[in-house]
Amino acid sequence: MGRDKDYILEDILKDSESLISEIEKIDEENGLLPEKVEETIKEDVKREEMQSLDFSTAIRANGYVEVYVSEDEMKATADFYPPSEGISDAGIEPGKPIEPEDVEKVLEKKGIVTGIDWNAISEAIFRCNTERTPVTGVTIARGKKPVDEIPPHFEIIEELLKSRKPIDTDSQRIDFKEISPFTLVNKGQVLARLVPKVPGAFGETVLGKAIPFKKASIPQLKPGKNVVVEADIAKAGCHGRFIYTDDSFWVSEVLEIKSDVDYHTGNIDFPGDVVIYGNVQDGFKVRAGGSIYCHKTLDASEVLCGGDLFVRLGIIGRKKGVVKVKGSVEAKFIENCYLEAGGNISIKTSILNSVVHSLKRVNLGEKGIIVGGKVFAQNGVEAAQLGTRVGPKTEIHCGIDFTIQQKLEWIRDKNIELAMKLNEIDRRIKDASTPSYIEKLKEVRKKLSQAIHKLNAASATMVNELDKNEEADVKVSASVYPGVYIEICHISYIVNRELKHCRFYLDKVKGKIAVEPLVV
């Protein structure tokens, strides 16, 4: 077995090395000792000096408190000092502890009368007396701040301030076209409430001095255009866009879009008029309860207009665009689009490969042409040119109410579906063997027959309203090319040779379409 370690020697060596390491850190030139060494020296000196004191001459000290008032007199703090402990060998009794009465005297002397916290004072006294340790920086009194007077003012309903639809980040697909920065309101909707006046209240310093209150600076929002004030509530006087600034709020019946309709604006759905200064980009929808004015090109994915539609340039449908207008339409051209209008349709240059419906008249300019597609105009069509020599088929339908025709076509399609179902039911009844099953089939057959009868009755009523204007005509100031199909009140005419400067109308006596020279 190896020789046992000499632990005493090891301790000596360890202490020596520690001592040497401290000495090595001494700065000989500047006479500086390591920081830890200096702290040790100070502590040793303190201890020795305290031990050298003659406590037999010590004087008994009572507990006491010192109070300080802040410069603005809104706060008072206190330092609590414990009594001396006394020295039994010298026969010196402990000092007197702090009493609440002692604090009262100091507060009275300082003139502190407001906001005194006796709970904090009691707790500090208890700690100081029992733990025999100073308790400093205790807040023992606070002044009372004045309360500002709040004048009566309107506050906008919170929902309107954050009405933009939040993005559902958990959704697998976010349609950013549906996210709009506009705040739209309905007629009668509450926009703001009147907050009544709140009286002010004087403040008071800890020394009891009164502090006057001020009048709060509250934005005075004034109700503007299309805002109706009833008692303490402001409501929208119309459908429109809600707008507010630092000093007013109102409802605009016109939505002005300075840029394009794109991902910055989202789809537009506005109850009033809409003015678009940029383009309407492909894929975006515009819905307006009033009229729409577009300064540039309308890339029509879906446009629904409750008033008139004016497009300074053209309407492009890209074969899928749908435009429905209750009023009139005015544009430079229409291309690859489906358009319905309750009023006149005025086009300056061309209608190309489009389906156009009007409950009034379709008018093109002096050089306006219609090539391809179908035009339905209840009161007639005017154009410079219909069709081309080798172009696509062009159809013109006049004199009818296209809305009724669409309903009749829907009834026809539904009747075909019902008839096919009826034939299938009859076949199953013939092949069925279970009486209860046959009864169910017969019940369904009865309902199908009633549905067909109902559609036929509706169709008979509508047919009488289909032909609206037997006076409708088609005027062509330049050329009509072979192959163009013209129909007035379901009387058809196919152009078989090029015609110029002519008018097509319904000869009711002969029951056919007649052609005559166009009188300018």
* Residue 77's pLDDT band (cuts 50, 70, 90): very high
Three-state SS letters, 383-396:
EEEECCCCCCCEEE
Return the half-sphere exposure (C-beta side, CA atoms, 13 A cut-off) of residue 254. Answer: 10
Residue with tokens 């309360």, as numbered in its chain: 147
Q: DSSP for 125-170, please give it.
A: HHHHHHHTS-EEEEEEEEPBPPB-BB--EEEE-HHHHT-SPPP-TT
Main-chain phi, psi angles of 259, to 5 degrees: -110, -165
DSSP state letter for 95: P
Give the residues across from 100 on adjacent strands: none
User: In the Cβ-directed half-sphere of 282, how many Cα atoms lie within 13 Å?
Assistant: 6
* pLDDT in the model for residue 443: 84
The rounded distance, in Å, linking the Cα atoms of 176 and 261 is 12
**Domain locations along the chain:** 62-142, 153-163+182-236, 405-466
| C-alpha to C-alpha distance for 72 and 490, rounded to whole angstroms | 95
End-to-end CA distance of the chain: 137
Q: What is the pLDDT of residue 463?
A: 75
In 359-463 the beta strands, taken as DSSP E runs, fall at 361-364, 369-377, 380-386, 394-398
Cα 466 to Cα 64, 359, 474: the distances in Å are 107, 12, 19
- DSSP E strands: which ranges in 378-451? 380-386, 394-398
pLDDT of residue 28: 55
Region 302-328 average pLDDT: 90
- Helix, strand, or coil here: 59? coil
Q: Across residues 476-485, what is the average pLDDT?
A: 95
Q: Which amino acid is at 244?
A: Y
Work out the pLDDT band at 150, boundaries 50, 70, 90. confident
Percent of the chain with pLDDT strictly greater than 90:
40
What average pLDDT does this structure show over 227-235? Answer: 90
267's CB contacts (< 8 A; 6+ apart) are 177, 178, 180, 261, 284, 285, 286, 287
- Mean pLDDT, to the nearest integer, of 183-211? 89
Residue 520, pLDDT > 80, answer no
- Residue 23 pLDDT greater than 90, yes or no: no
Q: Counting every residue, how long is the chain? A: 520
Identify the pLDDT of residue 245.
Answer: 82
What pLDDT digit, counting tens, does each position of 331-389 carry? 999 999 999 999 999 999 999 999 999 999 999 978 899 999 999 999 999 999 999 98
pLDDT given for residue 22 in this prediction = 56
pTM: 0.56
List the Cα angle 282/287/293 in 5-degree steps.
80
> According to the model, what pLDDT value does residue 283 have?
81
User: Is residue 2 predicted with pLDDT exceeding 80?
Assistant: no
pLDDT of residue 92: 57
**Torsion over CA: 283, 284, 288, 294 (sign):** negative
**Span 399-420, pLDDT tens digits:** 988 888 888 888 888 888 888 8
